[in-house]
Structure 1
Amino acid sequence: MLNRATPEAARRRAKGWLSTQLTPGERLRHRRARHLRRPLLAADPTVREFLHRGRVLLGREVTSFSSAAAGAHNLDLVVRALDHAGITYFMVPGSSGIRHQLGIRVADRAAFLDAMDELHGSRPIYVGLPQRSGGVTQFQFRIDGRLPDSLASAGVLRFGEFLIGPRNQLLAHTRSGCDVEFWADGAELLAAGDPEEQLPKGLPEDVLAESLIAPRRNAVSDFLPRGEQVPALLTVRERDYPTYQAFTLPRVNEVQFPVDIVYTWVDGDDPAWQARRDEHRPGARKDPSSESSRFVSHDELKYSLRSLEMYAGFVRHIYLVTDRQVPEWLDTEAPGLTVVDHRDIFRDPGVLPVFNSHAIETQLHHIEGLSEHYVYFNDDVMLGRPIGPDQFFHANGLAQVPFSSAQFGLGEPHPLEAAPSAAGRNVRRLIWETHKRNITQKFMHVAHPQLKSVMTELEELFPDEFERTAASRFRSVTDIAPGASLHHHQALLTGRAVPGRYRLCYVDISRPEEAEIRLGRLLAERGHDFICLNDVATADEDREQVGRLLNRFLDEYFPFPSAFEKR
């Protein structure tokens, strides 16, 4: 939804701030465009200027956001112009999960550009040349003046609006725009004697003469023979758009199976939970990984759920696993969410309560209704930008596991080392006994793809280890790491997983000065798939500072309530 009430005082402050942040060249460019932008800025309170990477851009403020909605918004802008001009168009299959592509005939280019000006001339729409990297080059705002020839004659153009939050944070950039491809008639290319490199290789002339020719490759074919020009419909967010049948067929590299999310969560400030923990707390030296700061809540779960809604539209269902707790802000009746108690999944409820993530991981695959393919999240992990299911799984079902460069090290587990390292070494013993392969690497602190069948198999292979870890109330030197190590190695060595690529920004928030710098960069760049805000061991005197720092960052990165929050 669009915000219709941006305060005028905020506009004046933003204008003054902009003038102090520009390079001389950009200040001159901005001065030339200002008179063209002034009527728009005065007429539409949802539009304002903001600074991004040294340029003064025009953005539209929104009051809710998801990458899927942003892509659909820009698609709708283009389609409205095409419908306004009566131009025939079709959806083109692309490789982006958030960006849409349309094809029209080259002959309709001028009419389309005129329609965009006529219908959207007073909107802050940008146009640019798409790049293979996903970004654009040579972009400019339509309102800033006539398009240069390099844009007006391009084979593909991208259109869209920058969507911004209440603090001018850029939420939807050019990667969310809508691409318009200008497809040529094969017969016209042949008649014009176009160079061979502009034509599809190896295509017979009689087929070419009746084909539509794309200006670039897409996910299916860069030419469309006459026999394949069978009309069909493609649905985007409950609206049907025209395309061709061949462009609607499921492809071998598309994930078609359901993917669920499983969270584990604890409210460490809950007096009842604290009483249970203190009653069972061992008197021996505490492992650093059982420090109370691990259980302090900064409402990370709330923001992690916001990140899913913003950036992961593929999720089928979310399961939240807790110990007789529910966040006070959580709408437990929200569609797509189920709260699961430890008592519902532990095979032996007599071992409860447990305060050990390793113990809980041994039981997650028992969740009723859980899909075969699911992703295990800790609440301190958020998504930083749009991802698809292929981040976690290949289309054939293989998991893509997040290897880290960190190592377990050699030697036996030791009671004075961190429990996660000991758990990894225990996993190494099991893998060696089963596969005669030596494991060395840890895994990244990201969301972890899981196969329910692998976890079920492991529970049958190692019943004693699963039972012992499940009964380990606090992290112990005898634990295994079921979800974030044993699962991955077993799946890898049995042909059900491969190494994946995960772009993570890990921030230890217990070091507030260093964390503030890293969080500032994250806000400016938004260039990581995953963000982990891990509280290793915050000193008591730093708790208040860390809390303020986290709240400021999370509110700015994920500014809007999700559907899982009470209204």
Structure 2
Amino acid sequence: MTGAAGMDLRHRVAAPTGVRAARHLLARLLPWPAARLWALRTAPARRRLRAAVPGLRRVSFGPTRLYGRTVAGYTAADAVETDLERVCTLLEGLGVPYFLVSAGPGTGAPRQVVGVEETHRGAVLSRAARCFAGTAGYVGAVGPDGAVTAAALWADGKLPRALRRAAVLRTGLVRLGPGGQVLSGLEAGCDIEFWRRGRDVRADPAWLTVPGAQLPDVFGPALVAPRRNPVTEVLPPAARRPAAVTRRRGGVPTYAPFAEPGVDEVCFPVDAVFTWVDGDDPVLAAKRRAHQEFSHGIAPRETGPSRYTSHDELRYALRSLEMYAGFVRRVYLVTDSQLPAWLDPDAAGLTVIDHRDILPADALPVFNSHAIESRLHHIPGLSEHYLYFNDDVFINRPVGAGHFFHGNGIARIPLSPLKLGAGPPHPLEPAPNSAGKNAREVIRRFHGRYITHKSLHTPHPQLLSVMREMESLGIGELERTAHSRFRSTADVAPASTLHHHWAIATGRAVPADYRFRYVQLGTPDMRRRLDRLASGEDIDFFCLNDVDTTPETRSAALPVLYTFLNRKYPYPSHYEAPRPAPPGQRPASTNDHRAPSR
């Protein structure tokens, strides 16, 4: 830039008007990227927010910078309800009619959706800017794929054009754990959809899934959604009958089509069953040694100490259940006259079951997970539909009952891409392969079908009626497995391969896709896999398995494991007993769970 204009610009920038004034002048005159211009413009508002709301931390989502606050506890279900309540309270204070839009049949959606008419957009945005300005709440424009394409803080003041005109907005709070980790971000919150009158919508919107090329002619003063939903994108006057959906805050208004349970919505109870033992307990170890001579015909790794060693995984598995699977009715913990020191056996919704409560007396003591699985359906009060967890299986993000069952009761089975292999069981192959091959013979004998695939190490959906049916038929392999104290090449896998394929063969289950990650303790890629999980890998479940790990490898791997688990699941579940404080001292932080001493 030369000449008088350039000299004038240099003079104006250099004038003693202050650094802030110079920045604003440059922002007007130079072609800076939009993100930097926006950062300069919103800086004063963000400084005021930090001063008014102590404890905020800056969080980045790609190029978007927001603020989050550390929360004292977290479950996805509570976050969903809180974000919904914020929006409902806002709209009720404004007097704007709104309605709850169906988010899907029990899939564990991380947010709720509220619809309002497009004519109220200006009033909604104006009031939200006033009400949420001091809360560090965010607002984002939602794209066709359901992801936020642009976001800002309500405290920023006037919103960018992309947000002011967005057909769907998402608003919520960024919740952080004690280490600054994001527990809920832009994938959560509550969506506000701006529905338009039919006369204002051009013919054949791309998202429309109901008939009608000319909306004004066919539907008259219908309300038309800005995107697809599970029920209907068009609400003619006849369908707008007031109704309510019961949520935590009480009845939330909606229209009748969105209040009815869908054909695939899970309306039945679902329980969870965990199996656990502490192999380092001297009493259990002595019992195991006393019966070890009866262990034969299978590789030593299948009956070695790592099969019974507890790394406190159960504590974190229960935390993951409480954080991300709020639909579970009751938890049953199956164990051998043991309790973890940290467990509260009287916690609401928890029942402890001893092996002697479900297994025949002549089958005890038992050190074989297959034998225990063969009798889980004898748990008193267990629901027809339940989930079976090993204690090293974790939930990674919000899930619903619809992940595991269809609304008609059919189970959704997590088959693995790995195959059982051909030929008879072999002592040197993994026990699941041998057990799966034996289950294959059972399925072929009773149903004339040949099975090929193993099951994933995920929560296993179970049908009580399937297990009872197989037991009533006197299947020899199943009876032998129930009396098999240690793993054997003669076992079947009752809760996985056998149950799953029997249910499929009888029309009570179908294969389903599960997003899953397997991590083996002490392997060279363990850290890489844990890092991917910690950074928010797009999966539903993961397994942290210990397979015949040497003491040296285990001691090196456990600190890494505990660091990961404490960051991933930082808050105690209600299944954990309060930690007593030493005399004269304040109670210790319940978030400080170090590796248990041995």
With the length of structure 1 as denominator, give the TM-score of the two structures. 0.90
Distance 1:463 1:432 in 2: 13
Other-structure match for 1:19: none
Q: Of residues 127, 133, 141 in structure 1, which corresponds to 2:153? A: 141
Retained in 2: the 8 A contact 1:385–1:526? no
Q: Of residues 278, 283, 287 in structure 1, which corresponds to 2:300? A: 287
Offset of 1:301 from its aligned partner?
Answer: 0.6
Task: Give 1:251's aligned amino acid.
Answer: G
Other-structure match for 2:319: 306
Distance 2:314 2:454 in 1: 24
**TM-aligned CA distance change 1:561 to 1:167, over 3 Å:** same
Q: Of residues 58, 61, 75 in structure 1, which corresponds to 2:67? A: 58
Distance 1:146 1:204 in 2: 34
**TM-aligned CA distance change 1:520 to 1:211, over 3 Å:** same
Residue 89 (1) aligns with residue 98 (2):
yes
Identity %: 47
Retained in 1: the 8 A contact 2:85–2:249? no
Task: Give 1:566's aligned amino acid.
Answer: A
Give the total of aligned pairs.
537
Q: Of residues 321, 330, 335 in structure 2, which corresponds to 1:317? A: 330
Distance 1:418 1:155 in 2: 53
Offset of 1:211 from its aligned partner?
Answer: 2.7
Other-structure match for 2:440: 428
User: Aligned to 1:449, what secondary structure does the other structure show?
Assistant: strand
Distance 1:52 1:206 in 2: 44
Other-structure match for 1:264: 275
**TM-aligned CA distance change 1:495 to 1:44, over 3 Å:** same
User: Aligned to 2:204, what secondary structure does the other structure show?
Assistant: helix
Q: Which has the larger radius of gyration?
A: 2
Residue 36 (1) aligns with residue 45 (2):
yes
Task: Give 2:202's aligned amino acid.
Answer: P
Distance 1:564 1:479 in 2: 33
User: Aligned to 1:58, what secondary structure does the other structure show?
Assistant: strand
Other-structure match for 2:202: 195
Q: CA RMSD in A?
A: 2.1
Distance 1:144 1:213 in 2: 31
Other-structure match for 2:582: none
Offset of 1:356 from its aligned partner?
Answer: 0.4
Deviates more, 1:537-546 or 1:141-150: 141-150
Other-structure match for 2:3: none
Distance 2:120 2:38 in 1: 32
Other-structure match for 2:545: 534
Retained in 1: the 8 A contact 2:384–2:463? yes
Q: Deviations over 1:189-221 (max 9, x none)?
A: 2xx6x4222486427757623432322232222
Task: Give 1:85's aligned amino acid.
Answer: L
Retained in 2: the 8 A contact 1:30–1:56? no
User: Aligned to 2:131, what secondary structure does the other structure show?
Assistant: helix
Retained in 1: the 8 A contact 2:64–2:152? no
Retained in 1: the 8 A contact 2:142–2:166? no
Distance 2:454 2:269 in 1: 28
**TM-aligned CA distance change 1:32 to 1:462, over 3 Å:** farther
User: Aligned to 2:573, what secondary structure does the other structure show?
Assistant: coil
Other-structure match for 1:374: 386
Residue 504 (1) aligns with residue 516 (2):
yes
Distance 2:197 2:216 in 1: 12
Deviates more, 1:515-524 or 1:53-62: 53-62
Offset of 1:100 from its aligned partner?
Answer: 0.9
Deviates more, 1:257-266 or 1:535-544: 535-544
Distance 2:435 2:417 in 1: 17
User: Aligned to 1:176, what secondary structure does the other structure show?
Assistant: coil
Q: Of residues 337, 341, 346 in structure 2, which corresponds to 1:328? A: 341
Distance 2:547 2:62 in 1: 33
Residue 223 (1) aligns with residue 234 (2):
yes
Other-structure match for 1:108: 120
Deviates more, 1:66-75 or 1:230-239: 230-239
Residue 544 (1) aligns with residue 551 (2):
no
Distance 1:262 1:43 in 2: 46
Q: Of residues 337, 345, 353 in structure 1, which corresponds to 2:350? A: 337
Other-structure match for 2:465: 453
Other-structure match for 1:177: 189
User: Aligned to 1:310, what secondary structure does the other structure show?
Assistant: helix
Retained in 2: the 8 A contact 1:207–1:225? no
Other-structure match for 1:163: 175
Retained in 1: the 8 A contact 2:144–2:227? no
Other-structure match for 1:125: 137
Other-structure match for 2:483: 471
**TM-aligned CA distance change 1:118 to 1:551, over 3 Å:** same
Q: Deviations over 1:399-451 (max 9, x none)?
A: 11111111111221123333222111111111222222222211111111111
Other-structure match for 1:79: 88
Other-structure match for 1:12: none
What residue ranges of structure 2 are gaps of 5+ in the alignment? 1-32, 579-598
Distance 1:51 1:356 in 2: 47
Retained in 1: the 8 A contact 2:129–2:157? no
Retained in 1: the 8 A contact 2:458–2:543? yes
Deviates more, 1:243-252 or 1:197-206: 197-206
Other-structure match for 1:49: 58
Other-structure match for 1:69: 78
Residue 404 (1) aligns with residue 416 (2):
yes
What residue ranges of structure 1 are gaps of 5+ in the alignment? 1-23
**TM-aligned CA distance change 1:92 to 1:422, over 3 Å:** same
